[in-house]
Amino acid sequence: MTILANLLVILPISIGVLFIVVTAIGLIRFPDLYTRAHAASKSATLGVMSVLIGVFFHFWLFENHFNPRILLGIVFLFITGPVGGHIMSRSSYIAGVKPWEGTVKDDLAEEIERMKKEQGIK
């Protein structure tokens, strides 16, 4: 039983830390803002969620303290993580941040152009 409980605590925390490190590496190595948004909105969400799950199991199984606030935090991260990535990349595109040269296809440029013309923004 103790082995199982230890696994439930150690495994999520190690996976979470691994994914947070991956986020940091991705943020440094990826070429432009939009590819960095991928790393920031996915790996960071899952990483922090896994760490929180590990903490939840630690306090529940070893300290006999069931803490629902951690579970609420996980749900909150789950809802807000992708919205953050979406809003950051959208506002940067409208503000005129150029995508990387390797980008092969750009359907969005004309749509933003049309939108700006409609609303009279330069």
Partner 1 sequence: MAFQMLLNFALAFIWMFLSSNYTVSGFLIGFILGIIVIVMMRRFFKQKLYLVRVWAIIKLTVLFFKELILANVQVFKLAVSPKMDMKPAFFAMPTELTEDWEITLLSSLITLTPGTVVVHVSDDAKTLYIHAIDMDDVDEAIDDIKNSFEKAIMEVTKS
Residue 39 binds partner 1, judged by CB under 8 A: yes
For partner 1, what does the binding mask look like between residues 57 and 96, x meaning CB under 8 A? ----------------------x-xxx-xx--xx--x---
Binding piece for partner 1, criterion CB under 8 A, among 6-14, 52-60, 67-75, 108-116: 108-116
Over the range 43-65, which residues count as b (16 or more CB within 10 Å of their CB) and which as e?
Answer: bbbbbbbbbbbbbbbbebbeeee
Q: How many residues bind partner 1 (CB under 8 A)?
A: 42
Q: Per rule CB under 8 A, is residue 30 in the interface with partner 1?
A: yes
Positive or negative, the CA dihedral 42, 18, 59, 8 is positive
Q: How far apart are CA 35 and CA 2, in angstroms?
A: 42
